[in-house]
Amino acid sequence: MSKLDPADYPDALNALTQLSIVAANAIRGTLGVNVRTKADGSPVTSADEAAEAVIADGLARLGVSLPIVSEESVEGAILPAKSDRYYLVDPLDGTKEFIAGRNEYTVNIALLSEGFPVLGVITAPALGLIWRGIVGRGAERLEFAEETALPPQPIHTRSAPAGEFIVMVSRSHLDAPTEAYLQRLPHTRRIGCGSSLKFCRLAEGTADHYPRLGPTMDWDIAAGHAILVAAGGIVTGLDGSPLKYGTPGLRIPSFLAWGNPAGAEKLGTVAKKTTR
């Protein structure tokens, strides 16, 4: 794994899966969650920091000399040197859900190559589930307990439904532009959900669409982006263009995630009318 060429991705996926389980156990084992507010106004807990430390140490032990961009290290103004390949990590995505005692929080680890997520692992500690995928090689879901994962099961997005579309929406970050967009979509049913689990539901074929017309950060969506594309879906900007990762602000202004490209075509005209 020293060079981490595409031929190494399956080994890397297994290693990152095991590392995400260790991070999940660190989150579950955190006693007395302490909460503070970061400079951007978002909360961070001792569980975020515990998972961050586990992942940073684990990636170093893998012997892969790739830069790591992680939410908590970036918040502390620690930015790695630019590289064509790097890890993008959110050690605890859905901190608000975690603080509220809900089970919709995840550990997100992605590998980016030339500005595009090519590999992703999303682990849900409270659900005992892992979603993972390599673009061009498929996606899987696994159950895990303690430090052991069960054999993976292949997953794939579902065909565009003839009737009702199921749309995933943010439980904590549903903004006005996204709400206006949703009001224009015909024959849809909303499901509120926290963290990157929304991408996972599309990837496993239990939902169809996830729009976000407000800004989000690279680490919030990179792992989900990779898994969804590996499962047969697509993620684009509002105009259908590819998302740009690694910008100076590490910010994605908006995106549309689709479980099936046919669904994007079916409802795409609505998106264009709403976002002009």
Whether residue 1 is predicted with pLDDT greater than 50 in this model: the reply is: no
The position carrying tokens 């990779």 is 226
How far apart (Å, rounded) are the C-alpha atoms in residues 252 and 237?
Answer: 9
> With bands split at pLDDT 50, 70 and 90, how would you rate the model's confidence at 15?
very high
Which domains does the chain carry? Answer: 6-155 (3.30.540.10), 165-275 (3.40.190.80)
**Per-residue pLDDT, 2:** 41
82 versus 12: the higher-pLDDT residue is 12
Least confident piece of the model among 75-79, 193-197, 212-216, 219-223? 75-79
- Report the amino acid identity of residue 123: T
How far apart (Å, rounded) are the C-alpha atoms in residues 118 and 109?
Answer: 11
| Residues paired with 122 in a beta bridge | 108, 131
Contact 94, 194 (CB under 8 A): yes
Question: DSSP string of 251-262?
Answer: EE--EEEESSHH
Q: pLDDT by residue (tens digit) across 210-219?
A: 999 989 999 9
> With bands split at pLDDT 50, 70 and 90, how would you rate the model's confidence at 75?
low
**Per-residue pLDDT, 43:** 81
**Per-residue pLDDT, 37:** 81
Least confident piece of the model among 55-69, 123-137, 141-155, 188-202? 55-69
Mean pLDDT of 121-143: 97
Q: What are phi and psi of 230, to 5 degrees?
A: -60, -30
Q: pLDDT by residue (tens digit) across 139-152?
A: 999 999 888 889 99
How far apart (Å, rounded) are the C-alpha atoms in residues 171 and 156?
Answer: 24
Strand, helix or coil at 123? strand
